[in-house]
Amino acid sequence: MNINDVNEMSSDIFMNLFKNIFEKTPNIAVSSANHRPFKDKNHLIEIFINEFQKLNKETKKNIIKKHPDLGNKLKINNLLTDMSKNEQKNAGLDNCTEEEFLFFNKMNNDFKSKFGIPFIFAVKGSNKNNIIEEFKRRLLNSNIEDELEESIRQVKKIAFFRLDEIIDD
């Protein structure tokens, strides 16, 4: 889809298409839509990221908490947004062995216990081994604020990948 299509679509279609760019946070799509017409793909991406950046830290943290656990078998099969499901599938997380699912579950629980937020990682272009290594590296972090900032960076990266996939140059 090109930028002209985005600029000309109805508000309802725009909402439906962009409501999960930031996981289960349609208000960012609403505020971004108010900036139409977008000049180009980069302008659209910049607007979405800026609308997220305007939010206070607590709101950003709440958006982080809306992201699903990586490698959670039940959620991959049933409860994910289509965007999250495709991202996890493309990283191979939908075909983990039972042992790998249990490992991911333990890592997710350890991470939430330590930092109070789920582990966020933009998985595009990654595989299970990359994700496991990132889990291990970030679990060594002892500074909750640093991890929150890293999670915010990862959420923006996920949004960038999602928008980049939807809009042609």
Q: How many CA atoms lie within 13 A of 137 on its CB side?
A: 10
With beta carbons less than 8 A apart as the criterion, state whether 44 and 3 touch: yes
- 43 among known catalytic residues: no
Which one of the listed residues 60, 67, 138, 156 is annotated catalytic? 67
CA distances from 3 to 6, 10, 13, 25 (A): 5, 14, 14, 22
Q: Which two tokens stand for residue 75?
A: 């959620």
Amino acid at position 86, single letter? N
With beta carbons less than 8 A apart as the criterion, state whether 56 and 24 touch: no
With beta carbons less than 8 A apart as the criterion, state whether 103 and 132 touch: yes
> Distance between CA atoms of 62 and 55, rounded to whole angstroms?
11
Active site residues: 67
